[in-house]
Amino acid sequence: MSCNDFDRMASAYLDGELADEERRRFEEHLATCDACKTELAELKRLTEDLNMMRFKEPGDEELQRYWSGVYNRLERGIGWILLSVGAILTLCYGAFKIIEEMIRDPAISVILKVGVCALIAGLVVLFVSLLRERLVVRKVDRYSREVER
């Protein structure tokens, strides 16, 4: 084993992730190379220091504040859904009524009627297309698959 191979395997050796044969070859090299021995000792110290690091547990007050933040977002989420559904229904009803009135009104020119109908049809096509795209992305998205695990 060369010093380059040694360097490549040093982290895995310290983490106990080398196969038996690799480990034996690694230790053989270690016994004969002082430079690699020093290198490994430094890396070991760093690894041990990293292993000692832990995340702080927040105090009760902080935890309560944190949970309130999450809870408020959950509530607002329902609010946004209801608002969106309400807005879509109202807009759809309004658009339907406007078109109905417009078609019945003989004073409005045919060109304007066709223009408004094309505008609304275009919006519907775009909305459906975006919705379909979102659903397809959701199906193949790595995030969604991880959520389902």
Partner 1 sequence: MEENEAVLLERCRAGDKDAFGPIVKKYAGRASGTACLLLGCPDEAGDASQEAFVRAWRNISRFDTRSPFYPWYSAILRNVCKSRLRRRARRRTVALTEGHRDSSSDTDPVFLAERNERRDALWHSVMKLSAPFREIILMKHFQDMSYKEIAAALGIPIGTVMSRLHSARRALRETLAGEGS
- Residues lying near partner 1 in the complex (CB under 8 A) are found at 7-12, 15, 17, 42-43, 46-47, 49-58, 63, 66-67, 69-71, 73-74, 77, 142-143, 146-149
Task: Please name which of 54, 43, 52 lies closest in space to residue 14, comparing C-alpha atoms.
Answer: 43
Kindly tell me which of 14 and 102 has the beta carbon lying closer to partner 1: 14
Q: How far is the CB of 61 from partner 1 (least distance, A)?
A: 12
- Residues in CB range of 117: below 8 A, 6 or more apart: 99
Q: How far is the CB of 74 from partner 1 (least distance, A)?
A: 6
Kindly tell me which of 14 and 116 has the beta carbon lying closer to partner 1: 14
Kindly tell me which of 63 and 83 has the beta carbon lying closer to partner 1: 63
And the tokens for 48? 């041990």
As a whole number of Å, the CA-based R_g of the chain is 33
Q: What is the dihedral of CA 27, 29, 32, 38, to 10 degrees?
A: -80
Q: How far is the CB of 128 from partner 1 (least distance, A)?
A: 23
The H or E element that residue 105 is part of is: none
